Amino acid sequence: MSRSLKQVAVLLVALLCLDPHSRVSSAPICTHGPSGCHVPSLADLFDRVIQHSARMHSVSNDLHSEFEQYFLPSKNHIGKIYRKCHTSNILTPNGKENAQKLAREELTEVILKLLMAWRDPLFQLHQSMADQQDFNSFSSNKALEMGDMAHELRKGVEKVAEKMRVLGMLGNSVTGLSAAEAMLPLSESGEAMSDYELLYCFRRDSNKVQNYLKILKCRIVPEHDC
Amino acid sequence: MRNSGAVLILSFIAKLISQAAGVSAPGKPRLTSCRSPEKETFTCWWEPGDDGGLPTTYALYYHLENSETIYECPDYRTAGDNSCFFNKNDTSLWVNYNITVVATNALGKNISDPVEVDVAYIVQPNTPENVTAVVVDEDQGPFVRVSWEKPRTADTRSGWITLQYQLRVKQKKDKEWEEYDAGMQKYYNVFSLHPDKEFMVQVRCKPDHGFWSEWTQTTYVKMPDYIPRERSLWIMITIFSVFIVLILTWTLNVKRNSVKLCLLPPVPGPKIKGFDKQLLKSGKSEEVFNSLVIQGFPPTIDYDDLLVEYLEVYDNEEQELVLDSKDLSEDCMKSKSPSDCDSGRGSCDSRTLLLEKCMVGREGSRSDQHQYSQHGETSWASTESSECQGLEPGSPEFSDGRVKTWPVVFSSPQPHHHYQVEAVKPVYHSVPEILNHSSPHAMPANYQNLQHQDIPQQEGRFGKPACRHSQSYTHGLDTPAPGVSPSRSLEYVEVQRINPENMLLLRPLSDQNREPEGSDYAGEDYSKVKELTSNNILLLQRDTSYQCADGYSQAGQCTTQQPPHPCKPVIYQSHSGMPQEGMRVMGNGYVDTTVLMPSY
């Protein structure tokens, strides 16, 4: 009896190994275009991305106000010395006209640059917040969440750009961001920025991203909400 | 040197003069707020301080973050007094402005506290425009559709600014507004407004990160008069009630047995002990009822046996029976019947313990004492019947022909109907009844006490029953039992005296004249003591020798009456626990007492 079982087992193994088609691999779901599944349109993609950025900004806003409330008593920042944000090197339009003057590609690139520039600093921020005893776990989780969101947002914007490129809306001048773009959050003096400064800067930059994305969307797909 | 000194002195004097004149340098101005309506321009307002009495000028200076270049406000007028308007060219977003205001007058200047402003976060849009509210009539009822437009300055088309709207509604008389969030749309339908009422509507807006705008001017809308057809409500009620009915029906069905039990309770069958339903069903009633018959019921008692011997009442001319009332103190008998003391019955003081009482107070009232013995039977009966009705319980009445009842005597509650029916010879109880509850020592000796004790108890019985009691026999609680053998020698005793301990001391009357026994009723009759019960009750044996129809043979079965010697009641005084000895002391079994008759 055991012998027959053994033979059956051996046969099964052989079949599994030998059969080339039995290898498990992932197959794309929507291989056959619109008939297969629902492919999100550019407008949908934009909506998702904008929603994502709005969420990210609100989280950063919360963290910043929380930080300000509990750790910095004076609201007027009298005597406060602002160090430059590390992203100040990136040229960003500081007004509506300036933003509208930029081409779509440039605008997209700015967005991507910004998001890229915050990848590592956000990770650092989370680390330092988790290390410090002052922050409760809720705040450090928020920082982690922020970092994840920034990462996902970047990926989303890249997809949008890809889509636009496919659709011919974007020229090929949008280059992939090199690793050199990822900057370390060092101020001019070379010192690392404090948590508060990081938060302050990120809050501002997430607001920029949101605004730029909205402008981009209403320029490219102005159907609704514009 | 001299010049500086002169300057100093001059300035000092000028200051003094200015202070005297009430003028001074300006007070510190204060920046109240900065607002941007569309995220492209912004305005800052300040509050001037004290101007010091002199014309003061204000100047606003600012510099951007991380830049030392100070700029002055480009436009002081557009936004009104004490304001500074930054146009598009001068407005940079996502940059901190460090703004200060300087007040200057002839005597000096004053600088306000700096304020940091980032234009992206001070956006407060203008109010929405063209708010319209119209009533839309539909099948389900009319509602109000409120629509508006975005504020003109806000550029939502390019996506630069995103606004969300809010509206509120209330009636004129209401205190609280009803708020609704409209999101980013520019219309809203308001339902469930009361018919035939006027409503006020207001709208406002807000950018995603910014401040709410002001409310618009009120827009009025009047709801038409309509009757709401709440069809849906009725449908729901119907369904609900049907549901409940179904549940009730099902519950009833499940519990139908208990419901039946509740509504139609089963008729209980007969539950008679010994009653066999089966027999009844079989139809033989005789058998059924035979089982119900209990042998020996009703108890057949020879009532004749229960008749206590009548104690013959001594009949006298005067047939007054003076019975003691409860209030012995008052009554010590004013019986008018003469006492017959010649007949050898002994001193009339032996009548009763009443006597004793009387003796205490009234020696002379002997004659008045209770002369129960003097009653003729018929007179007794008649008297009793006539007088008893009128007798008040416990009231010491005495007069001719009145009957007073012996309270103690009447403690036996058993009415003796025989007595009245047969009108037999009345029996007096001269000796107080000695019940179980009387104290062991007290027997007759405590007649007084007993009387007093029992009087309150028996008060209630002083009416007719009491009268009956007068004829009733005191009874020992024990059933009469065959008593003392008649074999003892007979001897009469006489109450000699009552000693202070309430003990009757008897002395035999062997030396006295003796009445021929049983010669007549009027003679002395003695009864033999049959038995002494536990509580010092002497059971008198029926004297079979006198008129015993049945002969001697059966003690206790004769119905002869033995009227006690009225004058010689012998109250057997029992020492505790030694009744037999007492009897022996007496020497014979005869006790002249009336009281101790067997009870039935």
**Residue of B156, B184, B208 to mutate, interface with A, max A Cβ within 10 Å:** B208
pLDDT at B220 over 70: yes
Residues B406, B400 contacting (CB under 8 angstroms): no
Distance from CA of B69 to the nearest CA of A (A): 16
Nearest to A96 among B66, B116, B158 (CB): B158
Query: With an 8 Å Cβ cutoff, are B184 and A225 in contact?
Result: yes
Q: What is the pLDDT of residue B326?
A: 42
Residues B567, B351 contacting (CB under 8 angstroms): yes
Residues B538, B596 contacting (CB under 8 angstroms): yes
Query: With an 8 Å Cβ cutoff, are A84 and B66 in contact?
Result: yes
CATH homologous superfamily for B129-224? Immunoglobulins (2.60.40.10)
Most confident segment among B254-268, B281-295, B490-504: B254-268
Residue of A nearest to B185 (CA): A225
Residue of A nearest to B118 (CA): A204
Residues near B150 by beta carbon (within 8 Å), at least 6 away in sequence: B128, B129, B156, B163, B186, B205
**pLDDT grade for B153, boundaries at 50, 70 and 90:** very high
Q: How many other β-carbons are positioned within 10 Å of the β-carbon of residue B328?
A: 24
Q: Which residues of A touch B114 (CB under 8 A)?
A: 76, 78
Kindly report, residue by residue over B396-406, the tens digit of the pLDDT.
Answer: 444 444 444 44
Mean pLDDT value of segment A203-209: 93
- Helix, strand or coil for residue B74? coil
Of residues B352 and B243, more confidently modeled: B243
What ipTM was reported for this prediction? 0.78
Query: With an 8 Å Cβ cutoff, are A76 and B40 in contact?
Result: no
Query: With an 8 Å Cβ cutoff, are A78 and B156 in contact?
Result: no
Kindly indicate whether the domain formed by A41-74+83-220 is annotated with CATH number 3.30.2350.10.
no
Mean pLDDT value of segment B260-277: 77
**pLDDT grade for A41, boundaries at 50, 70 and 90:** confident
Lookup: tokens for A196 = 């508060």
Residue of B nearest to A79 (CA): B114
Residue of A nearest to B186 (CA): A225
Q: Which residues of A touch B162 (CB under 8 A)?
A: 214, 225
Instruction: Please give the mean pLDDT across all residues of chain B.
Output: 68
Burial of residue A117 (CB within 10 Å: 0-12, 13-18, 19+) is buried
Burial of residue A52 (CB within 10 Å: 0-12, 13-18, 19+) is buried
Residues near B320 by beta carbon (within 8 Å), at least 6 away in sequence: B335, B336, B337, B371, B374, B375, B383, B400, B401, B402
Q: What is the pLDDT of residue B51?
A: 78
Mean pLDDT value of segment A15-26: 64
Of residues B346 and A96, more confidently modeled: A96
Distance from CA of B255 to the nearest CA of A (A): 58
Kindly report, residue by residue over B159-186, the tens digit of the pLDDT.
Answer: 999 999 999 999 989 899 999 999 999 9
Distance from CA of B94 to the nearest CA of A (A): 6
pLDDT at B37 over 60: yes
Give the span between the Cα atoms of A83 and B230, in whole angstroms.
66
Nearest to B96 among A82, A207, A226 (CB): A82
Nearest to B93 among A54, A77, A95 (CB): A95
- DSSP symbol at B202: E
Residues B382, B423 contacting (CB under 8 angstroms): no
- Helix, strand or coil for residue A201? helix
**Residue of B88, B93, B99 to mutate, interface with A, max A Cβ within 10 Å:** B93
Mean pLDDT value of segment B254-275: 81
Mean pLDDT value of segment B322-337: 44
Give the span between the Cα atoms of A133 and A139, in whole angstroms.
11
Give the span between the Cα atoms of B572 and B570, in whole angstroms.
6
Residue of A nearest to B89 (CA): A95
Residue B361: its H or E element? helix B353-361
Sheet holding B83-86, edge to edge: B30-35, B42-47, B83-86
Q: Which residues of B touch A97 (CB under 8 A)?
A: 88
Among the listed ranges A186-195, B229-238, B396-405, which one has the minimum average pLDDT value? B396-405
Q: Which residues of B touch A204 (CB under 8 A)?
A: 94, 118, 120
The closest alpha carbon to B427, from B476, B470, B475, belongs to: B470
Which A residues 61-80 touch B at CB under 8 Å? 61, 76-78
Query: With an 8 Å Cβ cutoff, are A96 and B208 in contact?
Result: no
What is the residue extent of each domain of chain B?
17-118, 129-224
Residue of B nearest to A78 (CA): B114
Phi, psi at residue B599, to the nearest 5°? -100, 160
Among the listed ranges A28-37, A112-121, B118-127, which one has the minimum average pLDDT value? A28-37
Q: Return the amino acid letter for B555.
A: A
Mean pLDDT value of segment B457-473: 41
What is the residue extent of each domain of chain A?
41-74+83-220
Residues A110, A175 contacting (CB under 8 angstroms): no
Of residues A208 and B419, more confidently modeled: A208
Residues B403, B387 contacting (CB under 8 angstroms): yes
Sheet holding B129-136, edge to edge: B129-136, B143-149, B187-190
Kindly report, residue by residue over B358-395, the tens digit of the pLDDT.
Answer: 444 444 444 444 444 444 444 433 444 444 444 444 44
pTM above 0.90, yes or no: no
Residue of A nearest to B65 (CA): A82
Nearest to B94 among A57, A76, A94 (CB): A94
Q: Which residues of A touch B65 (CB under 8 A)?
A: 82
HEC secondary structure over B316-331: CCCCCCCCCCCCCCCC
Q: What is the pLDDT of residue B141?
A: 79
Q: What is the pLDDT of residue A23?
A: 61
Q: Quick one: CA torsion of A141, A146, A151, A154, rounded to 10 degrees?
A: 170
Of residues B135 and B578, more confidently modeled: B135
- DSSP secondary structure string for all residues of B463-512: THHHHHHHHSPPB-SSPP---S-TTSPP--EEEEEEETTTEEEEEE-TTS
The percentage of residues in chain B with a pLDDT greater than 70, rounded to a whole number, is 45
Residues near A162 by beta carbon (within 8 Å), at least 6 away in sequence: none
Q: Which residues of B touch A86 (CB under 8 A)?
A: none
Count of A-B CB contacts under 8 Å: 61
Which A residues 98-157 touch B at CB under 8 Å? 99-100
Q: Which residues of B touch A215 (CB under 8 A)?
A: 158-160
Query: With an 8 Å Cβ cutoff, are A94 and B88 in contact?
Result: no
DSSP H helical ranges for chain A:
2-18, 42-71, 96-101, 104-117, 119-131, 137-167, 195-220
Name the packing angle between helices A137-167 and A42-71 (round to 10°): 150
Mean pLDDT value of segment A63-75: 74
Among the listed ranges B98-112, B139-153, B334-348, B520-534, which one has the minimum average pLDDT value? B334-348
Instruction: Please give the mean pLDDT across all residues of chain A.
Output: 80
Lookup: tokens for B511 = 């030396």
Mean pLDDT value of segment A155-182: 74
Cα B437–Cα B443–Cα B444 angle in degrees, nearest 5: 135
Query: With an 8 Å Cβ cutoff, are B160 and A208 in contact?
Result: no
Query: With an 8 Å Cβ cutoff, are A94 and B66 in contact?
Result: no
Most confident segment among A87-96, B16-25, B307-316, B506-515: A87-96
Assigned fold of B17-118: Immunoglobulin-like (2.60.40)
Residues B530, B483 contacting (CB under 8 angstroms): yes
Q: What is the pLDDT of residue B237?
A: 92
pLDDT at B7 over 70: yes
pLDDT at B87 over 50: yes
**pLDDT grade for A183, boundaries at 50, 70 and 90:** low
- DSSP secondary structure string for all residues of B81-144: TTEEEE-GGG--TT-EEEEEEEEEETTEEEEPPPEEEEGGG-B-PPPPEEEEEEEE--TT--EE
Q: How many other β-carbons are positioned within 10 Å of the β-carbon of residue B100?
A: 18
What is the rounded end-to-end Cα distance, in angstroms, of chain B?
A: 154
Q: How many other β-carbons are positioned within 10 Å of the β-carbon of residue B32?
A: 12
Give the span between the Cα atoms of A210 and A142, in whole angstroms.
19
pLDDT at A31 over 60: no
Of residues B61 and B580, more confidently modeled: B61
Distance from CA of A183 to the nearest CA of B (A): 20
Length of chain B: 600
Q: What is the pLDDT of residue B162?
A: 92
Nearest to B92 among A54, A94, A215 (CB): A94
Query: With an 8 Å Cβ cutoff, are B65 and A208 in contact?
Result: no
Mean pLDDT value of segment A21-32: 61
**pLDDT grade for B317, boundaries at 50, 70 and 90:** low
